[in-house]
Amino acid sequence: MLCRRILVFTNLFLIFSMPVNAYLDPGTGSMITYFIISIFMTSVFYIKEFYFRLTSIITTRKIGVTSADLTDVEILFYSEGAHYWNVFWPIIRSLECENVKCAYYTSDSNDNGLKYKSKNLVTKYIGRGVRSNTILNTLKVKIVVMTTTQIDVMYLKRSKHVKHYVHVVHSPIDAMYYNKFAFDYFDTIMCSGFYQIDSIRQIEKLRRLEKKNLLKTGLTYYDIMVENKTLNSARGVGGELTVMVAPTWGDKGMLTRFGVRPLKILLEYGYNVIFRPHPQMYISQKEMIKNIELELLPYSNLLIDTSSSAVGAMSKSDILISDISGIIFDFFFIYERPVITIEGKLDKRGFEAEDIQKEAWEIEILSEVSTIVSYKEINKLKEKIEDSINKKVKEKAVELRSKAVYNFSRSGSVAADQLINLTRGISYD
């Protein structure tokens, strides 16, 4: 708003400060053109502003969101999708125990959070795109908590009526491999481990940003995973091992690089295979995942898992095969079972890693967490699986987990206490 007004007044100043001549010379034509352009651009700015205000009014009425919904609410949680409910739920239930009234807005109509009924929790489906952004950009609440990154960079803007924005980290990976400017405009980051704090501090120093509150929170969804894991649920059906294949999405993902080949190798060896594509594949790589699923239809020893939570699939699996992804740490830390990673090179372009002169934590520790298989060794997956399954990994998993994850299995209550302190104006170093 301020920038727009400055532009308008600058244009007017430039126009009316020009000398007036009694005849038309070449400069006069330029002046008239400039005048017309200035008037046009100014009009566009004000029309756009009017449009967004009108859209905001219509959208909020259509969805049924009013300021009355947030009466006595100090903390609002925003979820992009149903699979984030397990990130927020441990925090919300702990806040409930403290009788703190909250709101939960989601862009997914299938979000389990919408089914949760409580006198202390206001839930609302707010749609996607322009609809959700319009509501979120005009929120009136003390604290907003989200897993979304790049606030004030992409379409989601900070509301001038919100005092504090909090990002909840939901993966045990370094901040280096988040998109550029992922955290720059948040006030507080709930970190899972020391490696995120180290990288964010480097970014702040590099960009001369004001220091944020970097909290030692942990991974809230681990609370749920620990509670729900079933160590012996349907494992080794038919006398064969159950192998979970959970590739990441994008150009560097296993499926993009190798196609269906690794999956076919496992299936033809007779393993029970649980294939869990990354949820983003169904958005960004629809055609590819559709073709892969069609090609795998003849195999009776294949289960394609698309549930909102990976807990069920991981509980049933003896070993996990993936690329460099957060799920390998989830499986290793929670289920304390072996992991195989398909070797791949991480592309730093577009990520914070471009500006940080160090190796990402997950790369440094990868060989301790998993058996790394190169492209040339794909045909030897059976031997790699047999070698890995015979390794004792439980002690190693517990040791690394204690160093890498803050407040393991109790981070929800820790996060709740941290948020309550923020509402009271208690700052962190």
- Measured CA to CA, the distance from residue 180 to residue 199 in angstroms comes to 13
Predicted confidence at residue 38, as pLDDT, reads: 57
pTM above 0.85, yes or no: no
- State yes or no: pLDDT of 73 exceeds 90: yes
When pLDDT is averaged across residues 200-216 and rounded to a whole number, the result is: 95
- State yes or no: pLDDT of 130 exceeds 60: yes
- State yes or no: pLDDT of 226 exceeds 60: yes
Tell me the sheet residues that pair with 340.
321, 371
Predicted confidence at residue 238, as pLDDT, reads: 46
Predicted confidence at residue 29, as pLDDT, reads: 56
CA angle in degrees (0–180, nearest 5) for 22-28-31: 130
The listed range with the strongest mean pLDDT (28-42, 65-79, 282-296, 361-375) is 361-375
Categorize the per-residue pLDDT at 43 as very low, low, confident or very high, splitting at 50, 70 and 90: low
Categorize the per-residue pLDDT at 176 as very low, low, confident or very high, splitting at 50, 70 and 90: very high
- Measured CA to CA, the distance from residue 362 to residue 351 in angstroms comes to 15
Domains and CATH numbers, the chain: 71-219+409-423 (3.40.50.2000), 230-404 (3.40.50.2000)
When pLDDT is averaged across residues 256-279 and rounded to a whole number, the result is: 90
What the block records as the tokens of 364 is 């440094």
- State yes or no: pLDDT of 44 exceeds 80: no
Per the prediction, the chain carries an average pLDDT of 84
Q: How far apart are the first and last CA of the chain?
A: 33
Categorize the per-residue pLDDT at 357 as very low, low, confident or very high, splitting at 50, 70 and 90: confident
The secondary structure of 370-403 as a DSSP string is SEEE-GGGGGGHHHHHHHHHTS--HHHHHHHHHH
* Percent of the chain residues past pLDDT 70, beyond the cut: 81
Q: How many residues does the chain have?
A: 429
